[in-house]
Amino acid sequence: MERSPVNHGEGNPEAAEEFNEAERDFVASERGRKKIQEGPQVGAGEEASLTEAEQRGKSRAKNDDSDTEAMKPNR
């Protein structure tokens, strides 16, 4: 009788490594570089919701992130 795979608890290191490798390959590919250059595709209706969620997150943060505005990329 074949033994079942080892239970790793909350995660699967082999699957995580496969995912990470595929992610690195995508980012290094021509298609990946193009997608990164394009940036996120956010609809007009989603922008307000994302801004609100960002502000809620910042209000709960332990550190003041007010100086991170200067670090955001210009689009």
Q: Are 22 and 30 in contact (CB under 8 A)?
A: no
Write the pLDDT tens digit of every residue in 17-37: 999 999 999 999 999 999 999
Q: Are the C-beta atoms of residues 52 and 44 closer than 8 Å to each other? A: no
In tens digits, the chain (75 residues) has pLDDT values of 566 666 667 788 889 999 999 999 999 999 999 999 998 888 878 988 999 999 999 998 877 656 555 556 564
